[in-house]
Amino acid sequence: MELAAQIIGIVGMTLNILSFQCKKNRNLFIMMGIGGVMWVLNYFLLGAIVGAAFNMINIVRSFLAIQDKTRTKMVFAIMVCVYIVTVIFTYESPVSILLLVAQLVGTYAMWFGDGKRIRTLQLCVVSPIWLFNNILVFTIGGIIAEVFTIASAIISFFRYRKTGFEK
């Protein structure tokens, strides 16, 4: 199971890395959603239930965030509540609260942010928290994914500069 978990994590990692090179938010969200499936399996096989649960929600979040009609304040509030209820029922340690913060910030960025804000919050909040978690859980794909996601987000700032991000 450990080997399968690590291989699945590496597939998820590849999708994460590539997602930040998508110029259009829609494509970024689609790749994040598909990668989320890999992360659910990875964390579940490693026994990290909070990570698996949050990634299940992330799949739904990514596909809701694609469409303007579902990216409303009401749906955002529902997503926030779902994350909070999930951490209440799956709480494992104080790291669970850090992951909740990462999920709330990431959801905010996807709902109300432009491409630059999404990448900035991913770079400064979401990825560092998940990196910390992935070191504790010891998911090789997860550790590498967050390091490369951070690098990919930085590269996207150079690649798209000030005006190349989708608004």
- pLDDT (tens digit per residue) in 106-157: 999 989 877 888 889 999 999 999 999 999 999 998 999 889 889 988 988 8
pTM: 0.85
Q: How much is the pLDDT for 167?
A: 54
Encode 16-29 in three state secondary structure: HHHHCCCCCHHHHH
Name all contacts of 145-150 with Cβ < 8 Å and 24+ positions apart: 145/9, 145/12, 145/13, 145/16, 145/17, 146/16, 148/13, 148/16, 148/17, 149/16, 149/17, 149/20, 149/122, 150/123
Count how many Cα atoms sit within 13 Å of the Cα of residue 145 in the half-sphere of its side chain: 34
Q: Would you say residue 142 lies in a domain?
A: yes
DSSP classification of residue 38: H
Give residue-wise pLDDT tens across range 8-32. 999 988 887 788 788 787 888 788 7
Name all contacts of 55-61 with Cβ < 8 Å and 24+ positions apart: 57/82, 57/83, 57/86, 57/103, 58/32, 58/33, 58/103, 59/33, 61/107, 61/110
Q: Would you say residue 165 lies in a domain?
A: no
In the structure encoding, which two tokens stand for residue 162, read together?
Answer: 């000030």
Task: Specify the number of domains making up the chain.
Answer: 1
Q: Would you say residue 7 lies in a domain?
A: yes
Query: Containing domain of residue 49, as a range?
Result: 2-160
Cβ 9 vs Cβ 35: under 8 Å: no
Q: What is the CA radius of gyration of the chain?
A: 15
Give residue-wise pLDDT tens across range 46-81. 999 999 999 999 889 888 888 889 889 999 999 999
Question: Does residue 115 or residue 41 have the better pLDDT?
Answer: 41
Q: Would you say residue 107 lies in a domain?
A: yes
Q: Would you say residue 68 lies in a domain?
A: yes
Q: Would you say residue 130 lies in a domain?
A: yes
Place of tokens 């804000």: 117
Look up residue 154 and give its amino acid: I
Nearest to 10 by CA among 31, 44, 38, 37: 38
Q: Would you say residue 110 lies in a domain?
A: yes
Q: Would you say residue 166 lies in a domain?
A: no
